[in-house]
Structures are given as structure tokens and as C-alpha cells.
A and B are shown apart, each in its own frame.
Chain A
Amino acid sequence: MSERGSGERYWRSLEDLGDDPRFAEIAAREFPSLLPELADPRTRRTFLKLMGASMALAGLTACRWPEERILPFAKRPEGRVPGTPERYATAMELGGVARGLLVTSYDGRPIKIEGNPDHPGSAGATDSIAQAAILELFDPDRSRHPSQRVGGAHERRERADYESHIKGRIAALAGRGRGLAVLGEASSSPSLARMQGRLLRRFPALRWYEYEPVTRDNERLGADIALGAPLRTHLDLSSADVIVAFDADLLTGHPDALRHAREFAARRRADDGAMNRLHAVESAFSVTGAMADHRHAASSAAVAAFAGQLAAFVLGPLGELPRGLAQALARTEGRATAPFVEELADELRAHRGRGVVVAGPGQPPEVHALVHLMNDRLGNVNRTVHYTEDPGPTRPSHEAAIGELAEAIRSGEVETLVILGGNPVFDAPADVDFAGALGRLADSVHLSLYRNETSNACAWHVPRAHFLETWGDARAWDGTISIVQPLIEPLWGGVSPIELLSLLGDGEPAPGHDLVRETARGYLGRGGFESAWASALHDGLVEGSRLPRLPARPDPSRVARRVADWWPPVTPSETAGLEIVFLPDPKLHDGRFANNGWLQELPEPMTKMAWDNALLVGKATADEHGLRSHETAVVSVGEREIEAPVFVMPGQADGSLAIWLGQGRSVCGRVGDGVGADAYRLRTSGAMHRAVGASVRPTGKRHELATTQDHFAIDLLGLEETQRRRPELLREATLGEYREHPDFVRHRAHTPELHELWKPVEYDGYKWGMSIDLTACTGCSACVVACQAENNIPVVGKVEVIKGREMHWIRVDRYFKGEPDAPEVAFQPVTCHHCENAPCEQVCPVAATLHSEEGLNQMVYNRCIGTRYCSNNCPYKVRRFNFWNNQKATTDLEALRHNPEVTVRSRGVMEKCSYCVQRIEAARTLAKREDRRIADGDVTPACAQACPTQAIVFGDLNDRGSRVARAHASQRSYAMLEELKVKPRTRYLAKLRNPATDGGGDEHGGHA
């Protein structure tokens, strides 16, 4: 809360910029003072641009594309009213798959991203990466201008420079375009495909390569083996009773994860007394593993072996096991088959047509082939499993492509290379030595959002437009086409890949808008194009553009042949050494988001680790090699080695190490530089997902990891106490117990009889409350980032997180249960419970926190003097204190992302979850305007809106029919720490598990 003085100063400066006063009015609340930034002419221009954009969208003055119209979302009133947010549908493409989004724009500034409810992939939900895209848009470290390498360093250039350069090259090129090559990212954009086609027609000799470091090619190859074509597999978990996942993180680590999570959770609420059952066989502990009813930790290779054995057990009894395969699988090298595999097989056969077997991208093609075979023979295909065409069926694998390109460069076949996005110098397989190859190239152009490792190695760098700045299109996992429409003019004059291609192809850059419309004419049909286009923009997707489902039968003999050659997989052993599994960073994907503070600071669901990646090691392996958490170790595969901090992870398979790719960036930005260890340096082609024969040795060097939760890393005393309390805090039961004792929650803890000492306060208006379903929560943490974006929550940095000063208003507690080598995991999101007898309130000497008429526990920043007493007295420890001026580092540019409906907190004040009161107030205003009560569903807090499984429900408890009221009435509903009689408004729905070996309420709730 900057004081009046600076407010005034701010005023004048903005006026100087000559902007729309209304904009200023909103912005006034945003950033204390512009003066420092204004000294810099470039920033000044930026602002003029920004204001321009804001007014463009406000339809006030001329803008870049006058003839272009951006239609507000259908649910919003037509015509713009300053100070009222509008929402536009758009999409974000990652790894060639579109996420349907709905972006809230405030007077021309996109400030919040939500899922598009109409989009088949998201159905209104989002993941943390999409949530964080806003931060990326306003990241001051983004590349701000083109540049050219002169000698060693890059020098600033203008747009005209690289355009003329490219034109020059094109002219110089031999007619057929020999020597010209394009390296693209995986993309499903119809426009890009069209531009690519045009380019290839113009330059038949042009070479087009596609490389994606986090690749799912094994799925394609597997399908190719089994089905004869690289078909794409779609799962329908809503109709699956039994799910078997081999190293497959369906719920967070899959392009269609949002849909999976939603469908999966829908089958677990057990209101009808039935639940699906999930088996996970995996090496590293994934969210899917955490949600599994049975999880088996096994090295990635052993997982493959289990898949093979399962195939044998499944197909054998069905008489469907090809001979060759039978013989092959019989060769188990004396490895005893685990009993669970047999049980699994029986269960799958018992649920024919209602089961799913799936393998992850890390598993070899052969395993995928087997999986296809199993699904087919179990009659799951066309019930729980569907096949469609995969975009770009003919392309070589990413792994092969990057290798070939490097070769082509070395052999001089490629003289000019245009790289569309990506960062191959950083993330190409280590043995390819792409950097070296690129170094030989005289002429290379790199289009990217940031100036990264690859940009520096290229002759030219061209700033790329953020997807919120530019026009484009992309397909969702199921093929549905979404139009990517900009919400703001490019801040740094960046261009999109299709715009660059148009420059390449036609020698003249066409505006992205035209290109996309041009493409759209193809799939929107001639008739009534404008209206079709309009509704496509409205809804954020093109109706009926889903890829058609294809019938496909696997060819057993081919599968048998391929598997036989490959079988058996090499599992870790004395001879083979350790195995190391390379996983995409759960937050940074392939590393492209490394400069995103929100993602860096987000505690990873399983390890609760922020700001780092680590060598994940199982307890036994750790003890064997003398590895300790928070100390570094050197991992070596062949002659390649890296040093990385160790994190002893319960449930990590013995003999198998895991590490996330994407950290350890060197040319990234203020946030991402030098964070974590670069695992790409260990990854070679042929071992893109796992390498064998790895060895590890501890260095004993201390490396503090920023973990926000310390179970298994604290003294025995605390550990035992944690285990004692867990069943009371996070109540759970098996389905059997639940059926036996529907009221089991009441027996999980002994709550003394609670008496009123005085007449309790009556709440007869609205009575806001929240319910969180622990059965549905996957711990994915999208809610955390969503809350951060909605409520202007600052990023504090690794050191502060280690000190325990993270600012997240909602946190997801992760509890382990059982043995460190095979633990069960449960997640529990915790945020302000808005207790009716809030203990924080009575201790505040200045009444800075107190109750509203609707029972909200109000925190008033401008009254707070910062005694921190409330935080001490909060049993849930959900209050967050601004120990520093956390906004100090926030540039005015970043400040543009701030939600103007929420005060930006100053130093020395307490803050906490407000149930998104700004959304309640907005709904109230709307309801008043329409002269009605606020209806159920009118108010959705950011966390609930983002949640893929709808585990969080919010509403009016006085409205008997509301979802939250019904949830609170449920038998599974309980209040955490009820015995304190703080009367929390947030209650939990107990977690249910559905293990196959379910005694059915063996003990009476297991009194803690």
C-alpha cells in the first residue's frame, strides 16, 4: 500500500505518457512509481505501446489492426466498460498439444488465465504451467529486440535488419532452396502446417526437422509396431474400472492429463458405493502413483519386465498369446515373477472392456506394443481406449531428427538454419553436440521468447511473440482446433512462427491474423465463414474439429517378433550398475519455463521441493551409496557426469535414480540462471528416457534444498508424532471400511463434546464455506499457482523458502504413510479455514483481522501493524507475513499482471486466503444489478476454478441446495482439529482408497 505521496507522483508520470485516465485509474493501484523506469526511453515506448493496446481493445483510439475485432466471451455483456474485466477464449500450445484457455483481461491487460469450460481437454480446469503463463508474458527478461552475432557477442538490431537479411538469403538461395533448413518444435497448428507446406512447395529441397526434448515418440513407435501406424491413443477413464499404469503419469504428466484427472476423480467419490481401482507400476514416485490403490516401485526396466509378464498372464489364459512371444516371455532370466502381476491379470480379465492398460512415454516401444495387444484382447479398445490419427504421421522421431540435422550441418548440406522456438543447444542429446554443429554454421536464425543458450549460438536472434500476444491456432489432444487470439499487442515487437515462415516463404511478412484466417477458411468452410469464425473465437474452439476415431487391430505376430528381439529388458544389477531415469520437470517441462518464478517457487507435489531439481534416490540405494538429502553427489554415465543435490525420496525404486530435465539453465534470466543441475548433459540419443550403467558417489558437499515439508527428514521424535497425528488430520478409509462404517470419520479421532460458552453469532445472510474432497485431490498444485496469480502473491526466492517464509495462500500438504520403501501418500490442501471462532482475531491488538457479517475472516492489510501474533495463534498456520518489501523487485512491467481487484501488500503486514472475496464482491454487484441473490456457482475461488478434479467446492452454507452445503452434510465430511472448537468454515471430505485386498472395515476406524 504505497502512501498517497507516491500515488500522486505516479499520477503525473502516467499522464505524461498520455494514456487513458481510466487505465491510469486502474493502474494507479498497481505500481508505486513509474519514475525510475521512465528514465529508460525503451520502457517509455513500451508503455506507450501498452496504453495503445489498452485503448485499442477499449475501442477508443486507433490500434494496430483496426479492422480486426476481438469478440468478448459470450457470457460477458457486449461493449466495453472500463474497470470491468472481460474474458477471451484462446489456447496455449505445449509440446504440440493445445490447452483451451479463457483469459481475463482488465482494461487491455491480461491478468488471469483459466481453463475454457467448453474445451473438451480442460473443461474449465488448468494446470500450473498454463496458470503461470501470465507471469511469462510480463517477464522483463524476455528478449526485447532482434540481435546479430558479431564476433563472439550479440549486437542489437532492428526488425528491418533481420527481415532484409532473410530476404537477402532467400534471394541468394538456389531456386530449390538447397542448404536451407528449418528446425521446428512439435506443433499441431494447422496454420503452421499450411505455411510449412507452402514453404516446401516453394523450396522443394528445404529440409524440415522437428525436435522436442520431452518427446512421446515411444508411443508412436509402439503403435507403429502393434497397429502398423503411429496412431494416437486416447483413454476414456470415465468408463474404466481397472487402470494399470506402467511408468505412466496419467494425471499430471500427460497432454490430456486434465481430462484424465477429471474422469478418474469422477469415478472415486463412491457416492454410489463404487470406485475404480488404479494400479501403478513405476520407478519414480508420480502423482499417479500417489493416487494409486496399489503402487509397485520398480526400476524402469523392471517395469517393462512386469509389463511383459502381465501380457503373458493376460493373454495366456485367453489363448491369445502368440508362440514366439510366449517363448520370449518365458525367458525371464531366472527373475521370479511378482505375485501381484498374476492378480493384476486376473483382475483385468475379470473386467474385460472395463479396464485400461497404459504405458508411459519412458517405456520402450515394445512395451507399448504389448499394451496395445493387451487392450485389444481384453476388449478395451473402443470402450476405454480409442485410436486416432496422430498429427504429422510421417515425421521421423525427434531423437532421430536432431541427430540427422546435426549430421547435415557437419556435412555442410545445411547452410542456413531457421530455428522456430526451442532450445536445442541446451536440450539436444549430449552425444549429438548440437552446439558444436551450430557453431560451424555461418547463417542461423533463432526465434524465441527469451535469449537463451541457442540464441547465443546463432547468427541471428529474433524475439518471438508470446501466445497471448499473437494469432495462431492449435489442436488439443483429441484434435479439436482452437484459435489462439492475442490479448495485447506484442510488448517487444515479437513475431510468431507462422509470421516468420510467411516472411521466409513469401519474402514479405503477413500479419498472423490474416494467416490464421486464411487457414481457417480451410476448416471453417466457405459458407458463412464470418459467423463461423466469430463463434470459433467466442467459444475458443472449432466445433466438430475433433480427429475421427479409427478402428485398429494390433498384429500379434509383429508384436511377438519385435518383443522377442528386445526381451528381456536390462534391469539394474551389480553388472549393469544403477539405472537413471530422465523425467520432464513437473514444473518447468523441458526447461523452457525456468525463468518463471511462480513455477520455480511452486513446491513439487511429491517432493515438496521448490527452486531446484535433485537426484531422487530410494532409501535403500541411498544408504548403500552413502547418499544423504541436502548433499550433492556426482552421477556418471559412461564418461559423462554431473553433480546434483540428492533427495532421498520414499517410494523411489531401488537401484533406480531419477532426475528432472530442464533445470541448470545458464542463459535464462534473473530467475532461472544457475538454478538446479542440468541433467541433459547425461542424456544421449538411444537413452533419451533412461540410461543404464550409471554410478553415483557422494561428495559430502552441503546443498540446502528448499523443501516446504520435512517428513522423513526430521528427527525420529517428530516423525513418530507426525505418524500419530496423520490419521486424525487426514482421515481416510478403504472402500470396504466406508461401506461398513459410513460414519468412520467420526471415529478417526476422539473429539471431546464441545459446548458453547456464550451465545454463538448467527449468520443469516450468506454464509460462505468451502469443502475439499481429499479423495479427489491429486496434489497437482494448480490451485497454488492459480491463487498466486489471482491474489498478487509475491515470489520470495529460494533462500526465503528455506527459511520458511513462502507466501502461498494455499498449500498442499503431503503425508507419507507406512514404510519408506513402499509408502502410501495422501494430499491435503490447506488454506485459511475462516473459522467462526477464529483464534487469530482475538489476539490482534488493532482489530486488523475480524469477522464479516457473512462469516469471512477478514484480513485488513491497511490496518495491520504486523505483530504476527495471529499467525502464531493460527492452528492451521495458513497466515503469511511480508517479512520484506516483496514488491521491491517487481518492475512496473511485471506489475501490469497484478489483479487490480486485490491490494498489493506492503512490507510488514500479514496476509492470507480471503476466499477470493473480490470474486464474491463482483458476484454481489452483478446479482444486485440483476436484483437477485447470489446463486450457487456464481462465486468460484481461483483454487476451485483451476482444480482439474473439482475437489474444491465453494458456496453459501445457508443455501441448503448448494454443492458446498451438500458436501458439508456428507458422511465423509469432517473438520480438521475440530477439538479446538474454532468452527472452521472449510471442511474436508475424507479420503477413500480402493485396494484389491480390502478386508472391509477390519478394524473400527483404527482409533488414533
Chain B
Amino acid sequence: MGDPRTAAAGSGRLVGLLAEYESVDPLLAACRAVRDAGYARWDSMTPFPVHGVDRAMGIRRTILPKLVFVGGLTGALGGLAMQWWMNAVDYPVVISGKPLFSLPAQIPIIFELTILLSALTAFGGMLALNGLPRLYNPLFRSVRFQRVTNDRFYVFVEADDPRFDAERTRKLLEATGCVALEEIRDVEE
């Protein structure tokens, strides 16, 4: 196991401390520790969604479902209105001697539009809330961090967290039994 006090990646402004863990258990422990220490601007990075990490970090439920509901509703009402206006109001024509507007015939498209807009909201919403795409991220400058998609787990405490203090935070993280600790620095302008 290498020396925790690794050289910082880059020499720019310090953006935060990155602690590396080998498995799920220490990660969860670390999360609880950081959470209990009352940090707000921090996160943990894992190769896959780790069961229980949400509770360990105290992440609140996302509002995404509500957005999707609104999206779906828009789709449904929009679809209904569109068909009604186009076929029964703007240019009404007699088709097969049927009523200008009858719901049964409109349902399929209403349904499809509902799904479509919900899905778009879900996808778009996820990206938006997650701030993606975010091609540049100081973390990418860390060689070690490349294993985040492989087999390592990380906790990252941002420097601009009000409680952040290079020394105390470092101690806190070291205490969580990380296999490595690294200062993440931004590129210098």
C-alpha cells in the first residue's frame, strides 16, 4: 500500500481532496464519517451504484419523477389539443361520415406523445440535474481516479465547502482507512 501523502495532481488551485478505497465497506464507513462531520459539498465516486450509499451519504430523493410527470401531462394534453384543433377546428372535414372529433381515434397518439415527452424529460432531466455533459472535470487530471470506472471507490470533498480545511479534512479522510489520498488541483489559468 503506497504512501497516502501522494503528490498533488497538478499545481493549480486546490479544488478538493480525493480519498480512494478498495471496497464497498470502507467507502460506506467513510461516507458516514464525512456526512456526520457535516460536510455539504462532497461526493463519493463508485464504478457502479453502491447499495446503501444514498443513506450513508444522506442524499435526498431527486425531483426527477415530478418533472417527468409534468412532461407526461404536457404530452397528453398537447396531443389531445393538437388533434382536436387540427381535425375539428382549423380545417374540419368529413372523414368516413364520422364525427369531427371522437376520443377513441385520438387515444393512440395521445398515449404515444405522453410516453415520448415523459421519456425525453427523464433523459434530459437526468443529464441536466447531473450537470452533464461536463467534459472537463479536475478529477480527470488524477491518474489514480481512472480506476473509478474499474474497481476503486472514492470520496471527494470539495475545497469550497465552508467546513473544508486542508488539514482537518485530510485527517478525517485518513481516519476512514483510505488506500490513498490526493489533492485535486485545477489547471492554472
Contacts and interface: CB of A to CB of B under 8 A. Distances in A.
Interface of A: 758-761, 836-839, 841-842, 847, 850-853, 983
Contact of B97 (A847, A851, A852, A853): A851
Contacts of A853: 94
Nearest to B105: A842
What are the 4 closest A-B residue pairs judged by CB atoms, nearest first?
A851-B94, A842-B96, A837-B97, A841-B96
A851 B95 contact: yes
B98 A758 contact: yes
B94 A842 contact: no
B83 to A, nearest CB: 13
Contacts, number: 32
A850 B97 contact: no
Contact of A758 (B94, B95, B99): B99
Contacts of B50: none
A850 B94 contact: yes
Nearest to B102: A758
Q: Output the residue of B93, B95, B97, B99 with the most chain A CB within 10 A.
A: B97
Contacts of B95: 841-842, 847, 850-851
A755 to B, nearest CB: 14
A836 B93 contact: no
B93 A761 contact: no
Interface in B53-102: 93-99, 102
A760 B97 contact: yes
A983 B93 contact: no
Contacts of B93: 847, 850-851
23 contacts: A758-B102, A759-B99, A761-B94, A761-B97, A836-B97, A837-B96, A837-B97, A837-B98, A838-B96, A838-B97, A839-B96, A841-B95, A842-B95, A842-B96, A842-B98, A847-B93, A847-B95, A850-B93, A850-B94, A850-B95, A851-B97, A853-B94, A983-B97
A483 B93 CA distance: 51
Contacts of B98: 758, 837, 842
A-side interface mostly: loop
Contacts of A842: 95-96, 98
Q: Output the residue of A839, A851, A983 with the most chain B CB within 10 A.
A: A851
Interface of B: 93-99, 102
A273 B98 CA distance: 41
Nearest to A981: B97
Nearest to A850: B93
A904 B98 CA distance: 31
B182 to A, nearest CB: 60
Given A760-B97, A839-B96, 6 more contacts: A842-B95, A850-B93, A851-B93, A851-B96, A851-B97, A983-B97
Nearest to A842: B96
Contacts of B94: 761, 850-853
B105 to A, nearest CB: 8
A871 to B, nearest CB: 15
A837 B95 CA distance: 8
Contacts of A760: 97
A988 B102 CA distance: 33
Contacts of A850: 93-95
Nearest to B91: A847
Nearest to B87: A847
A760 B94 CA distance: 11
Nearest to B97: A837
A759 B100 CA distance: 11
A850 B95 CA distance: 5
Contacts of A759: 99
A837 B96 CA distance: 4
B11 to A, nearest CB: 64
Contacts of A847: 93, 95
Contacts of A838: 96-97
Nearest to A756: B97
A773 B38 CA distance: 95
Contacts of A852: 94
A760 B96 CA distance: 10
Contacts of A983: 97
A756 to B, nearest CB: 10
Contacts of A839: 96
A852 B96 CA distance: 11
A838 B93 CA distance: 13
Nearest to B93: A850
Contacts of B96: 837-839, 841-842, 851
A937 B42 CA distance: 90
A398 B73 CA distance: 88
Nearest to A836: B97
A851 B94 CA distance: 5
A852 B98 CA distance: 13
A307 to B, nearest CB: 57
B88 to A, nearest CB: 13
Contacts of A851: 93-97
B139 to A, nearest CB: 51
A841 B99 CA distance: 13
Contacts of B102: 758
A454 to B, nearest CB: 58
A762 to B, nearest CB: 10
Nearest to B94: A851
A14 to B, nearest CB: 36
A851 B93 CA distance: 7
Contacts of B99: 758-759
Nearest to B95: A841
A353 B93 CA distance: 61
A839 B98 CA distance: 11
Nearest to A837: B97
A836 B97 CA distance: 6
A836 B96 CA distance: 6
Q: Output the residue of B95, B96, B102 with the most chain A CB within 10 A.
A: B96
A850 B93 CA distance: 7
Contacts of A836: 97
Contacts of A841: 95-96
A34 B79 CA distance: 48
Q: Output the residue of A836, A841, A853, A983 with the most chain B CB within 10 A.
A: A841
A853 B94 CA distance: 8
Q: Output the residue of A760, A847, A852 with the most chain B CB within 10 A.
A: A847
Nearest to A757: B98
Nearest to B99: A758
B101 to A, nearest CB: 11
A782 B102 CA distance: 44
A473 to B, nearest CB: 53
A852 B102 CA distance: 20
A272 B102 CA distance: 49
A174 to B, nearest CB: 81
A837 B98 CA distance: 7
A436 to B, nearest CB: 67
A727 B23 CA distance: 83
A856 B182 CA distance: 81
A853 B93 CA distance: 9
A401 to B, nearest CB: 64
Contacts of A761: 94, 97
A402 B94 CA distance: 66
Nearest to A873: B96
A842 B95 CA distance: 6
Contacts of A837: 96-98
A852 B93 CA distance: 8
Nearest to B100: A761
Nearest to B86: A847
Q: Output the residue of B95, B99, B102 with the most chain A CB within 10 A.
A: B95
A954 to B, nearest CB: 21
Contacts of B97: 760-761, 836-838, 851, 983
